[in-house]
Structure 1
Amino acid sequence: MQKSQLNGRLVKGSASTLAQLRSCLKPVMGNRTYIAQKQINLLQSAGNIIDVRILVQKDHSGIWDVTGMACRVGRPGSITSNISAGGSGQKLETTLREKFPDKEKQQEIIEKLRFVAVEACRTLEGSIGSSGEMGVDIGIDKGGQVWFIEANLRPARQVFTLIGEKKTRMLSVMRPMLYCRYLAGF
C-alpha cells in the first residue's frame, strides 16, 4: 500500500508491478525523477514518524561542524516529518532517552548522527561545489541504526526555536556570518 500527499490530501494506492506503481504515483510525481529507497522502520511517537534534522555549518575556520540536532515528529497520517507540513519538534535527548534507555546506546547514536551528517556535507560539497551550511535529515530505526534521508542547501531552522533551543538558533544565524568573514580573509 502506497500513501502520499497531494495538495494536502492523502493519496492511497497499491501496485504489484513497476508499471502499475508508476501509474499510481503519476498524479503525485508528475514527470519528475525520484530515487526510491527501502522502507525504514523509523522511530515513532504516538504512531507518527520521527527523524532528526542536523544543521551542519561552517564558521570562521571554514570546517564543517554540527550546530544543532533536533527531532521532527510528523503530523498524524503523514509520510514526512516536515515542520512546514504540520510536524512538530522534540529535543533529541528526550527522544533518545525514551526510545533507548541505555546511556551508552544514546551516545553511540549521537556519535553516528554527527559522523553521518558531517560526512554527507563533505561528500556533497565535493560534487556540488563550495557550500556553507546544510540541513541533513537522518532517520533512526528501532534498532538504533541511522539512515541518511536527504540534505537541504537551504535548511529551515525553526525546529530549534520550537524546542526552546534559543542558543542553537542564534548560533545558526551567526555561523554563516563567521563563514563569510573566513571567505573574505579577515
Structure 2
Amino acid sequence: MRKRYLIEVVQNDQLIVFCPEALLKGRIIKRIAFGSKSMAVDFYPHPDSHDRIVISKRIQRQLQYPNLNIPLHAFIKNEVLTIGPLVGIFTSGFTQNFGQPLGERTAFFANLLSVNKSVGALSFLFGEQQIDWEQGIIEGYFFYKNKWQKYEVPFPNVIYDRLPNRRSEKRQKQKKVKERLQKEYMIPWYNPGFFNKLEVYERLQQDASVERYLPETHPFTSFSHIESMLSKYGHVYIKPKNGSLGLGIHQIIYDKQTNEYYCRYQEKGEVNRLRKFHSLEKMFELVFAHQPLDKMVVQQGIHLLRMNQRAVDFRVHTNKDDAGIWQVSAIAAKIAGPGSVTTHKRSGGEIKTLSEIFPLKKAAEYKEKLETAALHLSHALEQNMEGIIGEIGFDLGIDRHGNVWLFEANSKPGRSIFSHPELQAFDLLTRKLSIAFAVFLAEKSLLHPEEMYK
C-alpha cells in the first residue's frame, strides 16, 4: 500500500518544505509540484517523525493548493516531489445554483467526492467553462465539510470523464477540451466515451476468449434477415445502437404454430405493450413507422432464467483498482416488470440480490459464472476499445442451460441497483475504486510515462 502524508500549511513565506526523513533518504529533490504547477524549494527532514509534509503559506499560494486536510500521496521523479493526485472530474450541465451545481445529479457527485479522504486524492468537478487556458488554472468545485466550495487549482494529474450523455459528448467544445488536455498537456483521461452496441459486439467478436458470451448481433438490413433469425431462435430483440436505459428496445416473437408475430415494447408514457400481427411487414409499418431502422441492431433472443414467469438478468460492475487490476465491484439480479421487454426499474423491474432469489448453492454458482464472464469481458474490452477504461457496467443473462450471455456493456453505468439496501456497501466500493484508479494512473504518468504513452 502506498504511503500517504498529511500536508500541513504553516504561516510563513519560506521556500522550504519539511518532509519525513524516510521520504528524503538517498534522494535529491529540488522542486515540489501539485497538479500542473511546480516550483523550486529547499527540502529538509522535519524534526519529529510524523508522516506529514510541511509547506509554507507562500508555497501553498503559488501551487494553488486547497488545504482540505486530506492525506495525499507523494510521487518522486526527476528531483520533483509531486503531492496528490489532483483529479479533475469532467462533466457538463452546471447550473447557477451553487448549492445544487449539477441539478439532480448533484447528490451523485457529492457522494463521489466524499471518498477523497479514504482514497488519498483531491478530486473536483469542472466543465469547459471553468477552464482558464491563459493562466493554466481551473475553477474547481470541491465538496468539503458537507458543502460545495470553489477553489482555483492547477490543471489536474488525471481526468475522469463523467459527461452525462452522448449528446454532450458530441459537442465540439467538449471534444476540443478533451483533445487539448490530452495532447498538449499529456493528462491521462479515463472512461472517455459511451459504447456503441454494434461496435462492442464487432470488436469482441475478434477475441476468442469471449466469443462464447456474445449473442448473434447484426445491423438491421432486411425483413428476410429477421425472418431467418426468428426461425433459428424463436425471438429476437431490436435495439438502438446507441441506446441507454432500455429505451427503444423491442422484442419480436414468432409463433410457428399459428404463423403469427408478436411485438413487446414500451410506449411513450411507460406503458408496456404486447401486439399481434399476421406479417412482419405489417408490424414494422405500424410499430416502427418513426424508428430510424438504419440505427438499430437485431440481436438473438435468449431463453433466460425466470422467476414467476418473469425474465431475470444481471447487472455486474467491474472497476480497475489502485493497482490497475480489474475486479468485480457489484452484482445484482434484475427481474423484469410484468409484461415488460426489459428489466429496467422504470419499466416495473425489481432489483434483488442473488441470495434473495436463488438457493445458497445456486447463488454461489451463478455468482462465480458472472464474475468470471465480467472479468474476461473487461480485459477483452480494454484490449479492443480505444482509450483508458476504468469501469464498466455489464448487463448479462444466464440461459436455462447455465450459459452466460452479454447483452450490453456500459462505460458510464447507471446506479439504480444501489437503491437496494443490501447493495449500498457496493455503491461505496464502486465510488472508491473509480477514484483509486486515478491514483494508479497519476503514479504511472508521473513515474513511468513511457508505459502510458507507448
State the TM-score bracket (shorter-chain normalisation). 0.7 to 0.9
Q: Which residue of 1 aligns with 2:375?
A: 118
Is the contact between residue 15 and residue 24 of structure 1 (CA under 8 Å) also seen in structure 2? no
Which residue identity does 1:185 align to in structure 2?
E
Is the contact between residue 266 and residue 340 of structure 2 (CA under 8 Å) also seen in structure 1? yes
Q: Distance in 1 between matches of 2:426 and 2:435?
A: 15
Which residue identity does 2:438 align to in structure 1?
C
| Cα shift at 1:183 | 1.1
| Residue in structure 2 matching 1:176, options 406, 411, 434 | 434
Q: Structure 1 pair 62/27, CA: closer, same or farther in 2 (3 Å)?
A: farther
Q: Distance in 2 between matches of 1:15 and 1:111?
A: 43
Which residue identity does 1:131 align to in structure 2?
I
Is the contact between residue 328 and residue 371 of structure 2 (CA under 8 Å) also seen in structure 1? yes
Which residue identity does 2:267 align to in structure 1?
L
Decide which structure has the larger Cα Rg and report it: 2
Q: How does 1:56-67 map to 2 (within 5 A)?
A: 56-67=318-329
Q: How does 1:1-186 map to 2 (within 5 A)?
A: 1-7=262-268, 8-11=270-273, 12-14=275-277, 16-17=279-280, 19-20=281-282, 22-27=284-289, 29-97=291-359, 103=361, 106-125=363-382, 126-185=384-443
TM-score (norm: length of structure 2): 0.37
Q: Structure 1 pair 23/118, CA: closer, same or farther in 2 (3 Å)?
A: farther
Q: Identity of aligned pairs, percent?
A: 28
Q: Structure 1 pair 127/24, CA: closer, same or farther in 2 (3 Å)?
A: farther
Q: Distance in 2 between matches of 1:3 and 1:28?
A: 17
Q: Distance in 1 between matches of 2:290 and 2:371?
A: 33
Which residue identity does 2:346 align to in structure 1?
S
Q: Distance in 1 between matches of 2:350 and 2:289?
A: 27
More helix by share: 1
| Cα shift at 1:75 | 1.3
Q: Distance in 2 between matches of 1:67 and 1:39?
A: 28
Aligned to 2:331, the other structure's residue is in SS state strand
CA distances 1:15-53 after superposition (whole Å, capped 9, x unpaired): 645x45543541473345222222212122222221110
CA distances 1:37-82 after superposition (whole Å, capped 9, x unpaired): 2221212222222111001111101121100101011211111001
| Cα shift at 1:128 | 3.5
Is the contact between residue 56 and residue 65 of structure 1 (CA under 8 Å) also seen in structure 2? yes
Q: Distance in 2 between matches of 1:174 and 1:145?
A: 31
Which residue identity does 2:342 align to in structure 1?
T
Which residue identity does 1:118 align to in structure 2?
L
Q: Structure 1 pair 74/28, CA: closer, same or farther in 2 (3 Å)?
A: farther
The gaps in structure 1 that reach 5 residues or longer are none
Give the aligned length: 180
Q: Distance in 1 between matches of 2:290 and 2:304?
A: 23
Q: Distance in 2 between matches of 1:44 and 1:28?
A: 32
Aligned to 1:116, the other structure's residue is in SS state helix
| Cα shift at 1:163 | 4.4
Q: Structure 1 pair 123/179, CA: closer, same or farther in 2 (3 Å)?
A: same
Which residue identity does 1:6 align to in structure 2?
E
Q: Which has the higher contact order (CA 8 A, sep 6+)?
A: 1
More strand by share: 2
Q: Distance in 2 between matches of 1:61 and 1:42?
A: 36
Q: Distance in 1 between matches of 2:292 and 2:267?
A: 11
Is the contact between residue 74 and residue 81 of structure 1 (CA under 8 Å) also seen in structure 2? yes
The gaps in structure 2 that reach 5 residues or longer are 1-261, 445-454
Which residue identity does 2:265 align to in structure 1?
S
